[in-house]
Amino acid sequence: MKVLGIETSCDETGIAVYDSDAGLLADGLYSQVDIHAKYGGVIPELASRDHIRKTLPLVKQVLAQAGIDQSELDAIAYTSGPGLVGALLVGASIGRALAMGLGIPAIGVHHMEGHLLAPMLEPDPPSFPFVALLVSGGHTQLVRVDGIGKYEMLGESLDDAAGEAFDKVGKMLGLPYPGGPHVAKLALQGESGRFEFPRPMTNRPGLDFSFSGLKTFVRNTIANHTADNGLEEQTAADIAKAFEEAVVGTMAIKCRRAMEHTGLETLIIAGGVSANVQLREVLESTMAKINGRLYYAQFKFCTDNGAMIAYTGCQRLLAGESVDLGIHVQPRWSLETLSAI
């Protein structure tokens, strides 16, 4: 089965073709970062308008890359939520219209389920059951995964998502949007140990997260070290380092706790923040200590992409999930409400 995936939930237009026999045939991404960077965050209306401009040309490009004609597609999968409603509607409408024109089914896919299954696209994929740490710009969740659609929420952020915290700290340090990758790059120049930031909610039981206190701690540290001529470059790098260490350290403690709690030995990390090299390294060693194993997607499939949507839609259609002719979007949508396959 060949499935075209369309991702338009936020500020990236991602398109891909996944074949259940041959694997991923092609993928393409258009990032709107340059459009939103000057505002320091995503402007929903501009995002929707740009998805309208980019989706169809990118579909054509990816089909050509895959070496197939649109008539060879068996289904279309589009992101139906969670995300920005206008942006979601663009992908959903185009996906549904294309499917109707081609006489094939169109399936709406949960964006976070897409992230969660992205490591399945790798040559050595994890097998169920496992614990998933989902860390994106909008979500920080620890989930027990017993199969596709079999999700039990173990813990989540009570305030900011991990990616959001990275982005806000990036802004405080005067780095471009989105801050996450820039904070990580600056942290490489930072000296460990100059600043010690708190690891929120680790000294009490439970698997929930909170990053707003850490954010305030960063803001105060920056204020205390900002002189008339601004913040010294090395100090900014040391703060980035301490912040990254605090986030990663907190996640390592919670992940270890989740492995103990579930008795499982496989951990996957997914979503934009799983591209963070420090997080990968620390969790690799955490899992090695308990004779477990860590899995993650290649860098380009950690952040938003069409491949994870094509893959997820394909799995659900192969399992016989029924679809109707509606255009479905759900800006807020809990992972736990999905049906098991």
Chain residues in the site for ligand KG4 (CB under 6 A):
10, 115, 136-138, 163, 166-167, 178-181, 184, 271-273, 275-276, 303-304
Interface with Zn ion by CB under 5 A: which residues?
136, 304
Nearer of residues 58 and 63 to ligand KG4, judged by Cβ: 58
Q: Cβ of residue 50: shortest distance to ligand KG4, in angstroms? A: 16
Count CB-CB contacts under 10 A for residue 189.
13
- What, of Zn ion, ligand KG4, none, does residue 138 touch, CB below 5 to 8 Å by kind? ligand KG4
As a whole number of angstroms, the distance between CA 30 and CA 160 comes to 26
- What, of ligand KG4, Zn ion, none, does residue 238 touch, CB below 5 to 8 Å by kind? none
Q: Cβ of residue 306: shortest distance to ligand KG4, in angstroms? A: 12
Strands 2-7 and 12-19: antiparallel
Q: Cβ of residue 269: shortest distance to ligand KG4, in angstroms? A: 11
Using the structure block, give the residue that is written with the tokens 């060949």: 2
- What, of ligand KG4, Zn ion, none, does residue 172 touch, CB below 5 to 8 Å by kind? none
Distances (CA, A) of 131 to 120, 187, 267: 14, 28, 5
Nearer of residues 76 and 135 to Zn ion, judged by Cβ: 135
Structure token pair of residue 1? 């089965």
**What count of residues does the chain have?**
341
Q: Cβ of residue 273: shortest distance to ligand KG4, in angstroms? A: 4
DSSP assignments along 155-189, one per residue: EEBSSS-HHHHHHHHHHHTTPPSSHHHHHHHHHTT
Please return the burial class of 341, using the count of CB atoms within 10 Å of its CB with bins 0-12, 13-18 and 19+. middle
Nearer of residues 170 and 271 to Zn ion, judged by Cβ: 271
Nearer of residues 84 and 154 to ligand KG4, judged by Cβ: 84
Residue 7: strand pairing partners: 14
Nearer of residues 10 and 17 to ligand KG4, judged by Cβ: 10
- What, of Zn ion, ligand KG4, none, does residue 6 touch, CB below 5 to 8 Å by kind? none
Using the structure block, give the residue that is written with the tokens 């920005």: 84
Collect all residues with Cβ–Cβ distance below 8 Å to 84 and sequence separation of at least 6. 9, 10, 42, 44, 47, 48, 331
- What, of Zn ion, ligand KG4, none, does residue 179 touch, CB below 5 to 8 Å by kind? ligand KG4
Q: Cβ of residue 185: shortest distance to ligand KG4, in angstroms? A: 8
Contact 190, 211 (CB under 8 A): no
Structure token pair of residue 46? 């501009």
Q: Cβ of residue 276: shortest distance to ligand KG4, in angstroms? A: 3
Residue 96: strand pairing partners: none
Collect all residues with Cβ–Cβ distance below 8 Å to 331 and sequence separation of at least 6. 81, 82, 83, 84, 85, 88
Nearer of residues 9 and 262 to ligand KG4, judged by Cβ: 9
- What, of ligand KG4, Zn ion, none, does residue 181 touch, CB below 5 to 8 Å by kind? ligand KG4
As a whole number of angstroms, the distance between CA 274 and CA 32 comes to 20
Q: Cβ of residue 148: shortest distance to ligand KG4, in angstroms? A: 19
Q: Cβ of residue 204: shortest distance to ligand KG4, in angstroms? A: 25
Count CB-CB contacts under 10 A for residue 316.
25
- What, of ligand KG4, Zn ion, none, does residue 180 touch, CB below 5 to 8 Å by kind? ligand KG4
- What, of Zn ion, ligand KG4, none, does residue 283 touch, CB below 5 to 8 Å by kind? none
Nearer of residues 155 and 271 to ligand KG4, judged by Cβ: 271
